[in-house]
Chain A
Amino acid sequence: MGWAIALHGGAGDIPRSMPPERREPREAALRHCLQIGVDAIKAGRSPLDVVELVVRELEDNPHFNAGRGSVLTSNGTVEMEACVMVGDTKKCGAVSGLTTVKNAVSLARLVMEKTPHIYLGFDGAEQFAKEQGVETLDASHFITPENVDRLKQAKEANKVQIDYTQPIQKVEEEDESASLPNGDSQIG
């Protein structure tokens, strides 16, 4: 018996050829977030506090698909969602369809702690966020140039992509000098 913590920053078709300038910041962020969690749990914070703290940090990092850096809908908008759950009581809270809330995970915790419900979505969730005074930001805060490019590629291919799907390559592309916005060569 002892404390333990684990975190993820997304799964998908992550190419082993991922260049260092894209890999290293993500690895550094994972280490940073892990250390935040370890410090918190060593300091005696509850597991609920720890997971909220760590996920907030991951949300604030544009390299991951939550909060700032969230991927875009087909309309070019963000719709974020989050959930928390406590083991011994099975208390839980969840939110969906957020467009302005800086840290969705904290709003999910408020749903758990301040309402008789489990799950709020879209306008109701945004309204609840305002009532609770949680930090909100203009939707443009969450949208990164990289994700605008990813949406463009996905729309051109008429596909949806899970986290870290490799850029979609257009087979008709014959311009060998062409490269994708993230620096990945289309010709390998």
Chain B
Amino acid sequence: TVGCVAVDSSGNLAAATSTGGLVNKMAGRIGDTPIIGAGTYANSLCAVSATGKGEAIIRATIGRDVAALMEYKGLSLEKAAAYVVQECAPVGTVGLVAVSANGQVTMPFNTNGMFRACANEDGYTHVGIWQD
């Protein structure tokens, strides 16, 4: 699954996700990617794109839960995303990338690895696969 999230200097947010699904999936199976609030979500606070096992991501409403923790509990993007990835989905099933309206970036995962990259206006750039 591939995905991208972006925020501009005015705080405008967007998310996009695209996938082929699971190897050997049943024909007709729909995963998390096109399900709003699961694999993809954006509101005025954050934008989220998830990857991993779609069924787990749908059950945990990963994308929307990150936004909800920020909206209702006032958590930072990093804390909200970390909580959702570590506490709301089984180990080995999910990773996500997310940005907030104020330019924060986070890329947590509970799988062995996640192909990922990010950059921001301050000049920070990161490309990674495994936990550093």
Contact = CB atoms under 8 A, between A and B. Distances in A.
B40 A83 contact: yes
Interface in B80-103: 92-99, 101-103
A160 B4 contact: no
Contact of A14 (B12, B30, B113, B120): B113
A55 B3 contact: yes
* Majority SS at the chain B contact face: strand
B9 A3 contact: yes
A170 interface: no
Given A47-B7, A84-B14, A4 B34 contact: no
Contacts of A10: 1-2, 51, 114-115
Contacts of B4: 5-8, 33, 37, 50-51, 54-55, 58
Contacts of A52: 16
Interface string A61-103: 0001111011111110111111111111010101111000000
A164 interface: yes
Nearest to B53: A162
Nearest to A14: B113
Contacts of A13: 92, 111-113
B6 A51 contact: yes
Contacts of B122: 2
Interface string B61-86: 00000000000000000000000000
Contacts of B44: 87-88
Contact of A6 (B9, B12, B25, B117): B117
Interface residues of A, number: 86
Contacts of A94: 33-36, 40
Interface string A124-152: 00000000000000000010000100110
A55 B47 contact: no
A7 to B, nearest CB: 4
B112 to A, nearest CB: 5
Contacts of A15: 112
B16 A51 contact: yes
B60 to A, nearest CB: 14
Contact of B47 (A47, A82, A95): A47
B10 to A, nearest CB: 8
A96 B16 contact: no
Given A3-B9, A6-B116, A154-B23, A121 B127 contact: no
B34 A108 contact: yes
B19 A70 contact: yes
A119 B94 CA distance: 23
Interface of B: 1-9, 11-31, 33-36, 39-47, 49, 51-53, 92-99, 101-107, 109, 111-122, 125, 127, 129-130
Given A5-B120, A82-B17, A119-B34, 5 more contacts: A11-B113, A30-B115, A58-B18, A80-B21, A96-B34
Closest 3 CB pairs of A and B: A70-B20, A87-B13, A2-B121
